[in-house]
Every structure is written in structure tokens, then in C-alpha cells.
Amino acid sequence: MAKFEDCLQRLEKIVQELEKGEVPLEKSLTLFEEGMQLSAACRKELEEAEGKVEILLKQNGKLQAEAFEPQAEKAPRKLSS
């Protein structure tokens, strides 16, 4: 499997080509299908990397590993009036 950066770069090229609007319909469909597969592969790699990320906290003079929690999944804080 190609590296994340390679997949992302290819996906960007596909998007640029499709945005030009000069591609025949059949080729557009092929590019779109490839783009969806690349997008899924990139998403999978990001999710796997996210699971491996740890935040080190200094607690009681010792470093302690804590699971990474993505910002998007955290509940928004309510502002007090």
C-alpha cells in the first residue's frame, strides 16, 4: 500500500482534473472511483495513526501516557453567561 502522502497527492491531482471539467464522462467516473478508494485509504491510515497517538502528561513528577482524544469528538464547552 502506498504511503499516506502519496495517496493524498494523487487524490489532489484527481480533484484538480475533475474540477477542470474537461474530462469525458467515462474517465470522470473512473477518476471518481479511484478518488473514493484513495479517500477511504487515507481515512483508514489517519484513524490508525490517531489510535497510536499518546499525550504525555506530567503528573506527580512522572510522565504518564494518556489516550489521545481528537478535538472534534470532545463535547463543546458551554460558555457561562
**Long-range contacts, 68-71 (Cβ 8 Å, 24+):** none
Where helices occur in the chain by DSSP H, the ranges are 4-20, 25-52
Q: Is 54 left (phi over 0), alpha (psi -120 to 50) or beta?
A: beta
Judged by average pLDDT, the poorest of 3-7, 39-43, 51-55 is: 51-55
pTM of the model: 0.59
Residue 76 has pLDDT above 70, yes or no: no
Q: What is the mean pLDDT of residues 44-71?
A: 64
Q: What angle do CA 23, 25, 30 make, to 5 degrees?
A: 85
| In the chain, % of residues over pLDDT 90 | 47
